[in-house]
Structure formats: structure tokens, C-alpha cells
Amino acid sequence: MKIAVVCLGNICRSPMAEVVLRDRLDGAKRLGLRFGQAGLDDVELVSAGTGGWHTGEKMDRRAAATLLEAGYDPERHRARQWPVGDPETYDLVLAMDADNLADLAGQAPESGLRMFRDFDPEGPGDVPDPYYGGAEGFREVLSMVERTSDAIVASVAAARPGS
């Protein structure tokens, strides 16, 4: 299974989601009994931006600091532009907001194109862009990303054969 998380510049929201979702997927793999034979070993995960102006850059320093403070490792991330490889090979493409979703229309498999927060137990909507705000916005995004990532992993595991 291939999953992509997409925002505007790939330096704040989508890389935060990639780091947390990867952490949750790795945790689910380690707790394999919790998900039965969910087959999470073969999940590939990337993040990207619809714009390419940050390609090759590290994650925004405030996003990275928020992740570090919460115990995650943001250092591997380098910004990429969508599409990453062949868009048709993705099973799930998760847009961080409605503008990203509109930008992805026709550039991602329609059957797998969703809003990231469609999986949020607190309800759907946009993941707000914290770029022009302060630290609180990044903490708010992290909170949304953590609870939604838990729900995404549970959904992926439930949909896998043998789960």
C-alpha cells in the first residue's frame, strides 16, 4: 500500500503528518498482535507539496522543534513536490486542506483522494496552516495529526487482508 500526505509547501503540515504517521505505522508493526495480521509491513509513506519552491529544504524549524519536543525525529525530511513518482500507484492521497484537495484533483487517483481529517475522530475539516502563526499553531497541528494518524493506522489495518 502507498500513502501520500500533501500540503502546500511540504515544510509544515504534511511533513509533520509523515513523521507522526510513520511513527504510528512502525508502532503498529511492533504491536502486530493488536492489529492481527494487518500486513502493515508493506505500507509506503511519503509527503509532498503542491508547490515546489521548498524542494530539497528541511522542514520548517518551528515544525521540527514541535516534533522534537514531542519525541519525534524530524531530521530525515526533505521537501518534495507532488507528484512523487507515478500518482496512479498511490492507494491513498491525503490532502491537508480543501485548497490542496482541489490542486490534487486530476493528479491523484480519484478513488484514493481524501482529506487527511476525514479520518479525524473529532470530525473532518482542514488542517490549518501554522506557517504564519506562532508555536501554538504548530502544537494544534501536531495534536490533530496525532489523533488522526492513530485513526488512519486503525483504518488501514482493518482494511488489510487477514485483519
Out of 23, 60, 129, 150, which one is annotated catalytic? 129
Taking the alpha carbons at both ends of the chain, their separation in whole angstroms is 15
Active site residue 117: no
Out of 12, 13, 60, 62, which one is annotated catalytic? 13
Active site residue 129: yes
Out of 7, 23, 80, 103, which one is annotated catalytic? 7
Concatenated DSSP letters of the chain:
-EEEEEESSSSSHHHHHHHHHHHHHHHHHHTGGGGSS--GGG-EEEEEESS-TTTTPPPPHHHHHHHHHTT---TT----BS--S-GGG-SEEEESSHHHHHHHTTTS-GGGEEEGGGG-TT--------TTS-HHHHHHHHHHHHHHHHHHHHHHHHHSTT-
Active site residue 12: no
Residues designated as active site: 7, 13, 129
